[in-house]
């Protein structure tokens, strides 16, 4: 930690207010403003554009360089050489597992893939056309009702088994959401398969025949989970941390993260990208939509472009772009018109002054939706896939917070409402 100081002078307050400047291992230094309250002042930063809400060792993003590190390892290397469950282990424990540790971890996760049979009844309560994210918010929060024996958040063993249960059961629940919408029977996990292959088996298999999953598609699915695993203090992870700071159980916290992720400005963007590409419909209409995206009076934004932190290419979208051709080839959809529109849209946007000046590059959601569509995943399941992958990051951040000293999150405000006034009786209004 540096012994640097920041001095703040405020009209009407005698003398300068001295505040510590803290430095991490990477990234900008931070000014510790906690003593401002004692001076009768708050900071004001809607959207937390320049606010560090916590200290963390899990993930680092350099938006200018388009760099994403998980416990120091570049996302490109993890996507190339690791797999999703190994990345889950890394995010949670801070180091890559040895071969023995990895086998034990994978076996542990696979031993938790089933859900309590009573959860089947929960799905019977949803309409056939319920949005899968609505179902996921409900059933993930409801998991807490099955594990009363391990909800003591101050017990490291309870935190660990909850993390294992959540990572293991998210694919099972996600597949159940999909099966509910098709009217097909739920598929039990087949633990002889890898994590991602098991998910595709539960999604697309049926009890009448054995399902053969193309290894290329299973690998692509695993990379999609891996690329979505964590992304420092994004909106949904910050929601999980805030919920967790009240002492809520991990299932409730992850359910709050799912709810936050659903928004089209966040994890809902992959679904919105596909809807946008389908609305564009033809390459000849791309200019019309780019024009709308630049029009201040038009709320339309080019979904899949822009990012709060990345002012360069999102490294995850580069990896996605790379696997596109392989997956399309394996699924025989290499000439998919939406992919052609996406590629053309990307080219036009990256050459347009508006997008260049505002540094709006394709983000993780731009290509992930196209790949998931090629795999045969319905559009309304895209954010569920995102939530499944991001569960690793959410639970790692939750665990990091709870296993260190923390305070309940309680932001303040700039109040601009009425000053005190007396109640006006009804007969005088």
For the bound state, the minimum distance from the C-beta of residue 355 to ligand SDX, rounded and expressed in Å, comes to: 7
Position with the least CB separation from ligand SDX: 306
The 3 state secondary structure assigned to 89-150 is HHHHHCCCCCHHHHHHHHHHHHCCCCCCCCHHHHHHCCCCCCCHHHHHHHHHHHHHHHCHHH
Name the active-site residue from 83, 230, 314, 365.
Answer: 365
Closer to ligand SDX by Cβ: residue 142 or 276: 276
- Cβ nearer to ligand SDX, comparing 66 with 304: 304
Spatial separation of the C-alpha atoms in residues 111 and 133, rounded to whole Å: 25
- Is 266 labeled as catalytic in the residue annotation? yes
Q: Is 365 marked active-site?
A: yes
Set 32, 158, 266, 336: catalytic member: 266
Binding residues among 278-337 for ligand SDX as defined by CB under 6 A:
293, 301-309
Q: Residues 116, 158, 266, 311: which binds ligand SDX (CB under 6 A)? A: 266
Which residue number, 187 or 303, has a Cβ lying nearer to ligand SDX? 303
Distances (CA, A) of 206 to 53, 98, 193, 415: 46, 36, 15, 57
What is d(CA 131, CA 135) in angstroms, rounded to the nearest whole number?
Answer: 7
Q: In what order do the strands lie in the sheet with 73-74?
A: 59-62, 67-70, 73-74
Q: 313 near 68, Cβ under 8 Å?
A: no
CB 419 within 8 A of CB 168: no
User: What does the CA dihedral 129, 132, 137, 143 come to, rounded to 10 degrees?
Assistant: 100
Q: What residues numbered 342-371 form the site for ligand SDX, per CB under 6 A?
A: 358, 360, 363-365
* Per-residue binding letters, 197-236, with ligand SDX (x by CB under 6 A): ----------------------------------x--x--
64-93 binders of ligand SDX (CB under 6 A): none
DSSP secondary structure letter of residue 311:
S
Q: Of the ranges 12-20, 140-148, 262-270, 402-410, which one interacts with ligand SDX (CB under 6 A)?
A: 262-270
Beta carbons of 385 and 174 less than 8 angstroms apart:
yes
Catalytic residue among 307, 314, 380, 397: 307
Q: Is 397 an active-site residue?
A: no
Binding interface with ligand SDX (CB under 6 A): 231, 234, 265-267, 269, 293, 301-309, 358, 360, 363-365
Which residues are annotated as catalytic? Answer: 266, 307, 365
């Amino acid at each position: 930690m540096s012994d640097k100081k920041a001095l703040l002078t405020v009209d009407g307050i005698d003398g300068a207010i001295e505040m510590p400047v803290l430095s991490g291992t990477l990234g900008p230094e931070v000014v510790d403003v906690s003593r401002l309250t004692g001076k009768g002042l708050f900071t004001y930063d809607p959207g937390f554009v320049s606010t560090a809400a916590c200290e963390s060792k899990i993930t680092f993003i350099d938006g200018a360089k388009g760099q994403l590190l998980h416990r120091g390892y570049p996302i490109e290397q993890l996507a190339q050489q690791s797999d999703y469950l190994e990345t889950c282990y890394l995010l949670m424990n801070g180091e890559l597992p040895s071969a023995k540790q990895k086998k034990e971890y994978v076996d542990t996760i696979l031993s938790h893939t089933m859900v309590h049979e009573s959860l089947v009844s929960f799905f019977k309560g949803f309409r056939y056309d319920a949005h899968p994210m609505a179902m996921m918010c409900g059933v993930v929060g409801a998991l807490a009702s099955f594990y009363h024996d391990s909800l003591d958040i101050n017990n490291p063993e309870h935190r660990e088994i909850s993390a294992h249960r959540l990572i293991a059961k998210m694919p099972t629940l996600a597949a159940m959401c999909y099966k509910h919408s098709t009217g097909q029977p739920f598929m039990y996990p087949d633990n002889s398969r890898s994590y991602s292959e098991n998910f595709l088996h539960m999604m697309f298999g049926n009890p009448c025949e054995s399902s053969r999953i193309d290894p290329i598609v299973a690998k692509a699915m695993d990379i999609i989970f891996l690329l979505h695993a964590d992304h420092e203090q994004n909106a949904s992870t910050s929601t999980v941390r805030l919920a967790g700071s009240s002492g809520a159980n991990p299932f409730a916290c992850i359910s709050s993260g799912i709810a936050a992720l659903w928004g089209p400005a966040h994890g809902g963007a992959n679904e919105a990208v596909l809807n946008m590409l389908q609305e564009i419909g033809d390459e000849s209409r791309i200019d019309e939509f780019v024009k709308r995206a630049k029009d201040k009076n038009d709320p339309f934004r080019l979904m899949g472009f822009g990012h709060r932190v990345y002012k360069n290419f999102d490294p995850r979208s580069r990896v996605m772009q790379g696997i596109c051709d392989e997956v399309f080839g394996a699924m025989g959809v290499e000439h998919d018109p939406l992919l052609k529109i996406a590629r053309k849209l990307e080219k036009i946007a990256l050459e347009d002054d508006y997008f260049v000046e505002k540094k709006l590059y394709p983000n993780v959601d731009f290509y992930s939706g196209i790949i998931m569509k090629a795999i045969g995943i319905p559009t309304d399941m895209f954010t569920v896939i995102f939530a499944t992958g991001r569960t690793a990051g959410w639970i790692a951040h939750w665990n990091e917070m709870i296993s260190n000293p923390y305070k309940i999150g309680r932001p303040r405000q700039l109040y601009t409402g009425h000053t005190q006034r007396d109640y006006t009786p009804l007969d005088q209004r």
